[in-house]
Amino acid sequence: MSGLFVLVSFLANASEGNLYQAEVSVSGLVTSGEDGSELPGVTVLEKGTTNGTITDMNGKYTLQVSEGATLVFTSIGFLEQEQTVGSQSVIDVQMQTDVKELETVVVIGYGTSKKSDLTGSVASIDNEALQKIPSSRVDQVLQGRAAGVQITSVSGAPGAGTVIRVRGGNSIEGSNQPLWVIDGIIVGQDFNLNNLNTNDIRSIEVLKDASSIAIYGSRGANGVVLVTTKSGMATGGKPQVSVGLYTSTQLVPERPAFLNKEEQIEYTNEDAAYRGVALPFPDDPSTYEDNDYFNMLLDPSPIYNADVSISGSSENGNVNYYNSLNYFNQDGLIKNSGIEKFIFRSNLDIKLTDRWKTGFRMNFSRIKQDNGTVGYGGLLNILPTQPVYNDDGTYNGWNEVIGAPFSNPVANAELNTNETQINNVLATAYLEFKPTPKWMIRSTFSPEIDNTKRNRFNSSQSPDRLVVNQGGDAEVRATTSIGWNNENTIQYSTEFGDHSITGLVGASFQHFQAESVSAEAYGFTSDAVGYNSLGLGSDPTRNIVNSSFDEFSIVSFFGRLNYSFRDKYLLTLVARTDGSSRFAEGNKYELYPSVAGAWKVSNEPFMQDVTFINNLKLRASYGRSGSQGIESYRTLALLTEASTTYGGVQNPGLTLGRPANPALQWETTDQLDLAVETSMFNNRVFAEFGFYRKETNDLLLEVVVPRQTGFSSQLQNIGSLENKGWEFLLKTTNVSHGDFDWGSTLTLSSNKNKVLDLGGQEFIDVVIDEILGSGNTRIIVGEPVPVFTGVKYLGTYKTQEEIDNSGMNVIPELGSSKFQDLNGDGNITNEDNIVLGSPQPDLVFGLENSITYKNFNLSFFFQGTYGNEVYNLRMRPNYFTRGENPKFAEIADRWTPQNPTSDIPRAGAASESTNSNSEMVEDGSHIRLKTLRLTYNLPTNQWGWNNIDRMSVYFSGTNLWLLSDFRLIDPETSNFGNSGLGNIAQGYSSGEYPNAKVLTLGLNLTF
3-state secondary structure 716-734: EECCEEEEEEEEEEEEEEE
Distance CA 905, CA 913 (A): 9
Q: Is the pLDDT of residue 445 over 80?
A: yes
Q: Is the pLDDT of residue 256 over 90?
A: yes
Q: Is the pLDDT of residue 434 over 80?
A: yes
Mean pLDDT of 828-851: 93
Q: Is the pLDDT of residue 42 over 90?
A: no
Percent pLDDT > 90 in the chain is 60
Kindly report the pTM of this predicted structure.
0.87
Distance CA 758, CA 780 (A): 8
Per-residue pLDDT, 575: 95
Name the residue among 830, 988, 985 with its Cα closest to residue 916: 830
**3-state helix, strand and coil shares in percent for the chain, rounded to the nearest 5:** 10, 50, 40
Better pLDDT: 179 or 642: 179
Per-residue pLDDT, 1: 41
Per-residue pLDDT, 753: 94
Element (H, E) at 444: strand 439-458
Distance CA 936, CA 897 (A): 63
Per-residue pLDDT, 520: 95
DSSP letter string, 787-854:
EEEEBPEEEE--SHHHHHTS--SS---TT-EEE--TT-SSS-SGGG-EEEE-S--SEEEEEEEEEEET
Mean pLDDT of 874-880: 92
Per-residue pLDDT, 16: 38
pLDDT in tens, 735-749: 888 788 899 999 999
Distance CA 537, CA 529 (A): 11
Confidence of residue 34 (pLDDT cuts 50, 70, 90): low
Q: Is the pLDDT of residue 953 over 60?
A: yes
Helix ranges (DSSP H) in 600-709:
none
pLDDT in tens, 482-516: 999 999 999 999 999 999 999 999 999 999 999 99
Distance CA 270, CA 258 (A): 17
Per-residue pLDDT, 770: 62
Cα 40–45–51 angle (5° rounding)? 120
Q: Is the pLDDT of residue 99 over 60?
A: no
Name the residue among 452, 419, 404, 417 with its Cα closest to residue 524: 417
Distance CA 280, CA 266 (A): 10
DSSP letter string, 15-64:
TTTTSS--EEEEEEEEEETTT--B-TT-EEEETTSS-EEE--TTSEEEEE
Distance between start and end Cα atoms, the chain:
43
Helix ranges (DSSP H) in 815-967:
875-878
Name the residue among 208, 194, 225 with its Cα closest to residue 367: 194
Q: Which residues lie closer than 8 Å to 979 by C-beta, 6 or more apart?
A: 175, 177, 190
> 249 and 995 in contact (C-beta within 8 Å)?
no
Per-residue pLDDT, 551: 93
Better pLDDT: 913 or 143: 143
Confidence of residue 13 (pLDDT cuts 50, 70, 90): very low
Mean pLDDT of 825-853: 93
Work out the number of other CB atoms within 10 angstroms of the CB of residue 299.
Answer: 14
3-state SS record for 497-546: CCEEEEEEEEEEEEEEEEEEEEEEEEEECCCCCHHHCHHHCCCCCCCEEE
Distance CA 677, CA 882 (A): 58
Per-residue pLDDT, 76: 62
One-letter amino acid of 628? Q
> 913 and 966 in contact (C-beta within 8 Å)?
no
Distance CA 329, CA 303 (A): 6
Count of alpha carbons within 13 Å of 428, Cβ hemisphere only?
Answer: 22
pLDDT in tens, 195-228: 999 999 998 999 999 989 999 988 888 999 999 9
Q: What is the three-class DSSP state of 610?
A: coil
Q: Is the pLDDT of residue 6 over 60?
A: no
Confidence of residue 977 (pLDDT cuts 50, 70, 90): confident
Cα 180 to the center of its chain, rounded Å: 10
Peptide bond into 786 cis (omega under 30): yes
Q: Is the pLDDT of residue 8 over 70?
A: no
Name the residue among 409, 424, 540 with its Cα closest to residue 471: 540
> 790 and 920 in contact (C-beta within 8 Å)?
yes
Q: Is the pLDDT of residue 340 over 90?
A: yes
Confidence of residue 904 (pLDDT cuts 50, 70, 90): very high
Per-residue pLDDT, 769: 65
Report CA-CA distances (Å) from 554 to 60, 186, 598, 740, 882: 46, 11, 32, 53, 55
Mean pLDDT of 1-30: 52
Per-residue pLDDT, 15: 38
pLDDT in tens, 132-142: 777 888 888 88
pLDDT in tens, 234-249: 777 889 999 999 999 9
Mean pLDDT of 949-978: 91
Work out the number of other CB atoms within 10 angstroms of the CB of residue 283.
Answer: 9
